[in-house]
Amino acid sequence: MKTATKHFLNTQDWSRSELDAMLRDAAAFKRLRTGQQLAGRSIALLFFNPSMRTRTSFELGAHQLGGKAIVLQPGKDAWPIEFDFGTVMDGEAEEHIAEVARVLSRYVDMIGVRAFPKFVDWSLDRQDRVLEGFAKYSEVPVINMETITHPCQEMAHVLAMQERLGTQDLTGRKYVLTWTYHPKALNTAVANSALTIATRMGMDVTLLCPTEDYLLDERYLDWAKQNVKENGGSFSVSHDIKAAYKDADVVYAKSWGALPYFGNWEQEKPIREQYKHFIVDEEKMALTRSGLFSHCLPLRRNVKATDAVMDSDGCFAIDEAENRLHVQKAIMARLARELD
């Protein structure tokens, strides 16, 4: 029987030196493109939610390293899965995670999971039960392809910042994670991740959001504070747009729903509508030191950021999206080494 070694569920579970090594490997993969690190290996990619970048980059990344990726969409082209215990399974689910994860483990060497929160009850969503279910029962490494955090995006983001700033050492660089308006209440995953990795890299991090209602879950605020203690840098919250943007080295934008209104999105919507002016535009970017801006994509132009910002020389969202391919190859190659 294969034995589960180490999963890639969160960057916070990995040491700084391990993350740095994977970032160096990713930079090397960017130069070399192909390799045999996954020769004879396979990965199952389970998508409970849509994707363009994640699916494409994982499938191609496995192929370029000599491996094979299988995409499954539970509830669409694969059986719906039950994650609770003790449930009388007389509803939609045809099989249980205890069987799914173990059976897949007999076929493949790694399992990737994308499972967004249900957006009804944050106290349940924050348990990340789908990902944790796979991690518990899988006998092979599990990779988080975005659940309530998005660690692969974090790695791609850091690599792109290192490239744009011309240094691997991001310590002390001023980083602004800004909330932006979106017509729908979105997942906090990328925001949780941005805060986690920027503080992990020792940056001077400001979380810019309209009000206290848009603060992130305390788990990620605590991680940010812990990271500052361990890695230097700083972390603060601001509701002042001009002060936050002033002299920033990097601005990263993301929209998310207010946690106190979780599940009551009709109540939250008129509040969110008041903050459309958080859009990233040229006027705000002119306050920064470098004009460097990014977003994880997909992005609604002229809602989250203007055309001018997206088309500016300082926008590195496309570089970051490309880097998903390279960092995920580094992550898969690293996990494959554990299996040897």
Site string for ligand CP, 96-135 (x = CB under 6 A): ----------------------------------------
Taking CB under 6 A as the criterion, the residue among 28, 32, 39, 52 binding ligand CP is 52
With contact defined as beta carbons under 8 Å apart, do 78 and 104 qualify?
A: no
Q: Cis peptide leading into 117, omega within 30 of 0?
A: no
Nearest to 251 by CA among 272, 228, 218, 281: 281
Q: Nearer to ligand CP by C-beta: 105 or 153?
A: 153
Distances (CA, A) of 280 to 43, 178, 338: 37, 8, 42
Taking CB under 6 A as the criterion, the residue among 98, 215, 241, 297 binding ligand CP is 297
The percent of the chain in helix, strand and coil, each rounded to the nearest 5, is 45, 15, 40
Considering only 46-54, 71-79, 91-99, 272-280, which stretch makes contact with ligand CP by CB under 6 A? 46-54
- Closest approach of Cβ 124 to ligand CP, in Å? 22
Nearest to 322 by CA among 196, 159, 115: 159
- Closest approach of Cβ 183 to ligand CP, in Å? 17
List the interface residues with ligand CP, window 128-147 (CB under 6 A). 146
* 153 near ligand CP (CB under 6 A): yes
For residue 302, is it left (φ>0), alpha (ψ between -120 and 50) or beta?
left
Q: Nearer to ligand CP by C-beta: 39 or 52?
A: 52
* 295 near ligand CP (CB under 6 A): no
- Closest approach of Cβ 242 to ligand CP, in Å? 29
Residue type, 154: E
Tokens at residue 323, please?
A: 């880097």
Taking CB under 6 A as the criterion, the residue among 296, 317, 330, 335 binding ligand CP is 296
* 53 near ligand CP (CB under 6 A): yes
- Closest approach of Cβ 200 to ligand CP, in Å? 19
Q: Nearer to ligand CP by C-beta: 149 or 227?
A: 149
- Give the whole-angstrom CA distance, residue 314 versus residue 306: 13
- Closest approach of Cβ 115 to ligand CP, in Å? 13
- What is the edge-to-edge ordering of all strands in the sheet holding 204-208? 234-238, 204-208, 174-179, 250-254, 292-294
- Closest approach of Cβ 30 to ligand CP, in Å? 18
Using only the alpha carbons of the chain, give its radius of gyration: 20
- Closest approach of Cβ 221 to ligand CP, in Å? 23
Query: H or E element: which one contains 333?
Result: helix 317-339
* 54 near ligand CP (CB under 6 A): yes
Q: Give the max Cα distance, the chain.
A: 59
Tokens at residue 62, please?
A: 């496995």
- Closest approach of Cβ 151 to ligand CP, in Å? 11
* CA-CA-CA-CA torsion sign (138, 49, 154, 329): positive
Considering only 50-58, 96-104, 136-144, 215-223, which stretch makes contact with ligand CP by CB under 6 A? 50-58
Q: Nearer to ligand CP by C-beta: 4 or 330?
A: 330
The number of residues that bind ligand CP (CB under 6 A) is: 9
- Which residues of the chain form contacts with ligand CP (CB under 6 A)? 51-54, 146, 153, 296-298
